[in-house]
Structure 1
Amino acid sequence: MKVKYRDIFMAFFRAGLLGFGGGLSAIPLMHREVVKVYKWMGDEEFSDILALANTLPGPINTKMSGYLGYRVRGIPGMLVALVGTVVPTVILMIVFLTALNAYKDKPWVQGMSKAVVPVAGVMLGMLTWGFVKKSIEAIGWLLTMIVMAAGVVVMVVLGIHPAFLIGALLAIALLTKKDFDQKKQEHAS
């Protein structure tokens, strides 16, 4: 059964509407819509797409929605997903910036602006924990911790862009998969 354009629009509209705090805060919402609600793909595939999208330039929210829409219904699906993602942001920017500009000196507006940050942090933390659990299932606890520690060292301590780390991990995975497939064939013979 073909995915309806209305479903694509609503999935990304909800993620765009509720994704306060920047594009990254919409990723857990997108994940919920794409993986849990509509079941267009699994966690592993979503995390692969997210990893690749992080290596490319531009806003993560539109890259993810554009590709996911394309994956579900081709170019028309991509356009619908992009419109669904961008429309709430444009409308909310106009409404909220007009209101914030009018009341910017009020303490409740300043408090509201500061309160959004920890909520976005919790949403990202939940998404991260989900990916850690999936990684533990796939490669085990020890290797997951080693890769995470290496990621912290490479990105935080050495200041290297995540794209290089992701590229190195993809290369290692491709090389070890080939060795793994060869060993698997040898054991089958």
Structure 2
Amino acid sequence: MANAYVQIGVAMLRTGILGYGGGPSIVPLVRHEAVTRFQWMKDEEFMEVLAIANTLPGPIATKLAGYLGYRLKGTGGAVIGLLAHIVPTCVAMVGLYSFINFFSNSQVIKGMIAAVVPIVAVMLGVMAYEFGEKAIKGLGWAAGITFFVISFLLLQTFAVHPAIVIFLFLFYGAFHHKVKDKWNKGKKPLGKGEGA
């Protein structure tokens, strides 16, 4: 992987330049680069990294850029990933601030921003569907739907911080298979000669 630094730089440059709408809208772009385009990791590993990154403070996109760079090429890769992701946007913001300020009330600019919103929503929806599909395969329908409802209630009804919810489910996930095995043993029908 002689050109790994170039791959990291190009991938994170693309996510930094094309990622409109903040951190969550950039996640599908990072996933596409890491899983589909360059195949640095499997989808399951990306989901795990995303879950852990969500429990940590700071912008999700920069955490992912730093992690991917570090995973491939250590500290140098992390620096390249972070710089490639944030520097172009910082330069563009500083250089174009007066332009944006001047045209902030323009209907054309408002229309451009409004046109991007549905695309971001579809990208997030597709990613959520694929993650949900994998959760159902790993947990089963009953547990998958139950956990969805619990997480929805914790986040929307009780306004629990997302990091706490993710931590709770990460903690449960560490013991999921043991709990599932005990549950299945308790439900197992008695064979001949077993029981009283």
| Per-residue deviation, 1:103 | 1.7
1:107 matched residue in structure 2: 107
Q: Cα–Cα, structure 1 residues 176 and 125, in superposed 2: closer, same or farther, change >3 Å?
A: closer
- CA deviations over 1:102-139 (Å, ceiling 9, x no partner): 22232112222333333222221121111111112222
- TM-score between both structures, scaled by the size of structure 2: 0.85
Q: Does residue 67 in structure 1 map to residue 58 in structure 2?
A: no
SS in 1 for 2:35: helix
Instruction: Could you tell me which runs of 5 or more consecutive residues in structure 1 were left unpaired when the two chains were aligned.
Output: 183-189
Distance in 2 between residues matched to 1:179 and 1:146, nearest whole Å: 15
Supply the AA of the counterpart residue of 1:94.
Answer: V
Partner of 1:23: 23
Q: What is the alpha-carbon distance in structure 1 between the residues aligned to residue 124 and residue 157 of structure 2?
A: 21
Larger mean CA deviation between 72-81 and 109-118 belongs to 109-118
Task: Count residues in correspondence.
Answer: 183
Query: Is 1:5–2:5 an aligned residue pair?
Result: yes
Q: Please list every run of at least 4 consecutive aligned residues from structure 1 whose deviation after the TM superposition is greater than 6 angstroms.
A: none
One-letter identity of the residue aligned with 1:74 = G
More displaced, 11-20 or 87-96?
87-96
Matches within 5 A, 1:142-153: 142-153=142-153
- Paired residues of 2:12 and 2:81 also in contact (CA < 8 A): yes
CA separation of 1:174 and 1:82: change in aligned 2, threshold 3 A: same
Q: Which residue of 2 aligns with 1:90?
A: 90
Q: Say which one has the larger Rg.
A: 2
Partner Cα separation in structure 2 for residue 146 and residue 80 of structure 1: 41
Going from structure 1 to structure 2, the CA distance change for 1:95 and 1:142 (only over 3 Å counts) comes to farther
Give me the whole-angstrom Cα distance separating, in 1, the residues matched to 2:15 and 2:108: 26
The percentage of aligned residue pairs carrying the same residue is 38
**Offset at 1:74?**
0.7
Determine if contact 1:3/1:72 at 8 Å carries over to the other structure. Answer: no
Work out the CA distance in 2 between the residues paired with 1:136 and 1:72: 30
Aligned partner of 1:164 in structure 2 is 164
Partner Cα distance (1:4, 1:132) in 2: 31
**Aligned residue identity for 2:65:** S
What is the deviation of 1:35? 0.3
Q: Check whether the contact 1:3–1:73 (CA below 8 A) recurs between aligned residues.
A: no
| Alpha-carbon distance in 1 for matches of 2:33, 2:135 | 21
TM-score normalised by the chain length of structure 1: 0.87
Measured after TM superposition, the shift of residue 99 of structure 1 is 2.2
User: Which shows bigger deviation, 50-59 or 85-94?
Assistant: 85-94
Structure 1 window deviating more from structure 2 (28-37 vs 91-100): it is 91-100
Q: Please list every run of 5 or more consecutive structure 2 residues that lacks an aligned counterpart in the other structure.
A: 183-196
1:55 maps to amino acid: T
Q: In the alignment, what sits opposite 1:173?
A: 173
